[in-house]
Amino acid sequence: MKTLRFEIEAVCPETGARAGVLHTAHGPVPTPVFMPVGTQGAVKALTPRHLSDEIDARIILGNTYHLYLRPGHKLIEKSGGLHGFASWPRAILTDSGGFQVWSLSRLRKLNEDGVVFRSHLDGSSHLFTPESTVDVQFALGSDIMMTLDECTSYPVEERAARSSMELTVRWARRAFRHYREGMKGRPPRHALFPIVQGSMFAGLRRECAAALIELDAECYAIGGLSVGEPRPLSLEMTAATAPLLPADRPRYVMGVGQPAELAEYAARGVDMMDCVLPSRGARHGCLFTHEGKLVIKQNRFREDLLPADPACRCYTCRTFSRAYLRHLFMSGELLFHTLATLHNLTYYLDIMKRMREAILLGKFPEFWKATRAFASPADPISE
């Protein structure tokens, strides 16, 4: 049963970067795609109209862990799924909650069955199993669901990484069994993606990929990156994994990246990415621009009447000066978050759009080289 159609329009002969379209039940998603993060059923500080009309996001992320705890997936199901609840008419991908159980909740206890964890909100105890998180995501009505995985810390010893990876594979098998059962009698609108783990051990990544390919999934994700490792290592793991995954299906690297890294991942055959950086950075006063990062509170912007990014076409840059944005930030005005997030996401999605055009035109290597020349090593914002 196919729930998605992935159409590859062009492949860069030098790098393997691909341009395509992922056809979902909630519309087409041109790839490579960067997916804005809407953790709690909203991309922070933006209306769905900002996202569709201004930023032209085709797919956003929701977070299973958060939405399960609050307001609860049953309520969301009653509201017409997350699409109805959040009034978002385009595609939605939900993660499985594995990463948040690992990063947010305390007192988690992992066993073969699943993971018992305490809510970071009220300390209440909950169990996630590979099957239950599929059911929660069915209730959310996600176009793309993710299997429950165990995300290992960095650094970790190989033995621990192996045992964690093997658990992730067994969980993925259970998730798929449950998913295929659950899809009987449902419209073919929900895909399930398994997640390649293996920490920073290329051998484990290879083993994991090989095992997951047996599931014949419609897409494969690479997880367990952006967990504190040096960034070149994230790219190395991606390069070691992506070529092993089926070439006719999308590849999704979870939780990346910096603006200058987007082309790095595409160059390694990655089609989908997500990261909180543009929205979280915005809230901390960090604006990504063609001239580099602007830390808007700096005094040098006090009387700067230029737009945040003179090369940007977003509402924020068409309308307001750096001096005004700085004033809003210094004054704690809520409007700053809206305007800065609107800009940062536009900036990210514009990179993806230009990258996609470059691939289609056979000019990706030039594009890639240009972003490398521009990349700055320092990064004041942590993810």
Q: Which parts of this chain interact with its own copies (CB under 8 A)?
A: 40-42, 44-49, 66, 70-71, 75, 78-79, 85-87, 302-303, 305, 315, 319-321, 323-324, 326-328, 330-331, 333-335, 337-339
CB of 220 to its own copies, least distance (A): 31
- Provide the 10 A C-beta neighbour count for residue 51: 23
Cβ nearer to its own copies, comparing 88 with 252:
88
DSSP structural state of residue 222: E
Q: What's the CA gap between 152 and 186, in Å, rounded?
A: 34
Q: Is 216 one of the annotated active-site residues of the chain?
A: no
Q: Which residue has the tokens 């690479």?
A: 222
Instruction: Give the active site residue among 95, 143, 309, 350.
Output: 95
Which residue type sits at 48? P
Cβ nearer to its own copies, comparing 77 with 236:
77
| Cα–Cα nearest to 295, from 285, 310, 305 | 285
Q: Where are the beta strands (DSSP E) in the chain?
A: 5-11, 18-24, 27-31, 33-35, 59-63, 91-95, 106-110, 115-118, 125-128, 144-146, 191-193, 195-196, 220-222, 251-253, 272-274, 286-289, 292-295
Tokens of 215: 């599931």
Cβ nearer to its own copies, comparing 196 with 339:
339
CB of 324 to its own copies, least distance (A): 5
CB of 65 to its own copies, least distance (A): 13
Q: Is 274 one of the annotated active-site residues of the chain?
A: yes
Cβ nearer to its own copies, comparing 48 with 269:
48
Instruction: Give the active site residue among 143, 149, 274, 350.
Output: 274
CB of 248 to its own copies, least distance (A): 38
Cβ 145 vs Cβ 175: under 8 Å: no
CB of 334 to its own copies, least distance (A): 4
Cβ nearer to its own copies, comparing 160 with 305:
305
Which residues have a catalytic role annotated? 95, 274
